[in-house]
Structure 1
Amino acid sequence: MKTKEKILHTALRLFNEQGTSEISSRNISDEMGISYGNLCYHFPKKSDIILALYRQMQDEVTELIQNIQREIFRFDFMVRSLRELLHLLHKYRFVFIEHIQLARKFDSIKQESKRQFERRKDILREVSRFLLAQGYLRPEEIRGHHDMIIHALLIVLNSWIPDGELFYNGKPEKIIDYYLELYYSVFRANLTPKGARAFDEVYNALALDFKRLQQDVMD
């Protein structure tokens, strides 16, 4: 791992643990055991590190979203990909814990957040049209209801990390499972009986596979 990558790796851990306001560039260099000048050669300001981590996160998210779009109409792929996405977002959890402050401080983060929100909304609209055509999604009783569901799903996706920091009291290793259940409860409530049966079959099978994988790791 190159020095620049090590700086980002260390900064990410410290920002996640203590927040950006509590960590200085010197804290990062001290933690790494390198000179402050060496760190500043790669990142002259702490804000450069924050923005580099944000861009790194968006690159990883974009790659995952592109993969999701290629297999968007498969329940099994949707379930697996959402779990992977939540793990990825949790990796960069300081961004979401401090999202409002960072968006106010860095216009690039504010604008990119808006672009990502609209992109994810478009993907979910595409999914909803497919589910409706297959008889899996309940038709709208009120005009615009599907867009409201989509917005609710995106609120959960964007806000689960700060919510977990404040209100989640379960085992740390179960936090992804908890918020996946929350996300899917919003989604499943709007499926037809046919859609709910199809979704439950896939979700329960994958949940069992995941539990077996966890047990194998523990053993």
Structure 2
Amino acid sequence: MKMSSRKKDIIDTSIALFNQEGCLSTSTRHIADNMGISVGNLYYYFKNKEDILVQILQEYTHSLFESLHAFDFANNRQFLFKEFLLQIQILDAKYKFLHTEMHSIIVTFPQFKLSMRSIMNDEVNLMRKLIVHQIEHGYMVELEKNEIEHLIANARILKLSSAGYWNIIEDRPQVNSQMASLSLFYFLHPYLTQKAYDDESWHQLEANLLKEVADVKM
């Protein structure tokens, strides 16, 4: 079912305020006041702030899964990590607060945590599919099943921790997203084959990321 325009406005306003002011610091009244509507009107569409957060999480993961499914693994023999990292970079910039405040959010909102756990399983399955695809087509070194699982887990941990770290150092969401992507880029580097290194798109991605973060102090 298509989301109503008012419900979408509430989601978009919430994302903007959560990114600017912090999720835990933003109340439903703050969201309603920013939109020029009553809190009662907001509650017509969402039961509470946690309900809004769950909807935002679903929107984030829908965008991520949609981009991964678009790779068409069955018929695509290309090096896909560049496109994967670019999609992550775009989403991380839009939903900055999900990474900077993830720990606090899952501690404070139990239903969000349950939704996150369920979605993570689907995300891991898609990441596993991506890695197996890249191994089969010679872009990644051969890995045992348990090595793939640890690679996925460590990549997710790095993604969350690096996003939080760079948001402490810098107050520029787009740059922070690129720094987090660059961290993931170099983490994946040792797992790639010469065929991947020979792909010009990989070097172009590195050059673009380094250019965008040239003024960031490590």
TM-score (norm 1): 0.75
C-alpha spacing 1:72/1:98, structure 2 compared with 1 (3 Å): farther
Offset, 1:207: 6.0
Q: Which residue of 2 aligns with 1:202?
A: 201
- CA shift at 1:13, angstroms? 0.8
Partner residue, 1:189: 190
Percent identity over the alignment?
A: 22
The answer to whether 1:17 aligns with 2:13 is no
Choose from 24, 29, 32 the match for 1:26.
Answer: 29
Q: What is the one-letter code of the residue matched to 2:151? A: I
The yes-or-no answer on 1:118 pairing with 2:118 is no
1:79 Cα shift?
A: 0.8
Over the residues paired in the alignment, what is the CA RMSD in angstroms?
Answer: 3.3
Tell me the equivalent position of 2:213: none
Equivalences, count: 207
The answer to whether the Cα contact below 8 Å between 1:73 and 1:127 also exists between their aligned partners in 2 is: no
TM-score normalised by the chain length of structure 2: 0.75
Write out per-residue CA displacement over residues 104-129 of structure 1, whole angstroms, 9 at most, x where no aligned residue. Answer: 34444323333443334333434444
Whether 1:147 aligns to 2:149 is yes
Deviation sequence 1:40-92 (CA, Å, 0-9, x none): 322342222222222222222222232245476422x4312321222113312
Residue 140 of structure 2, aligned match among 137, 142, 145:
137
- Gaps in structure 2 of 5+ consecutive residues: 211-218
> Is the 1:8–1:53 contact (alpha carbons within 8 Å) kept by the matching residues of 2?
yes
Aligned-partner Cα distance in 1 for 2:114–2:175: 32
**What whole-Å deviation, never above 9, does each CA across 1:161-193 have from its counterpart, x for those lacking one?**
212212x4486543333222221111112223x
Q: Distance in 2 between matches of 1:189 and 1:209?
A: 20
Tell me if structure 2 keeps the 8 A contact 1:68–1:78.
no
SS in 2 for 1:20: coil
Q: Cα offset for 1:135?
A: 4.5
Asked which structure has the greater CA Rg, the reply is: 1
For 1:51, which of 54, 58, 66 is the aligned residue? 54
Unaligned runs of 5+ in 1: 212-219
Q: Does 1:89 align with 2:92?
A: yes
Q: Which residue of 1 aligns with 2:216?
A: none
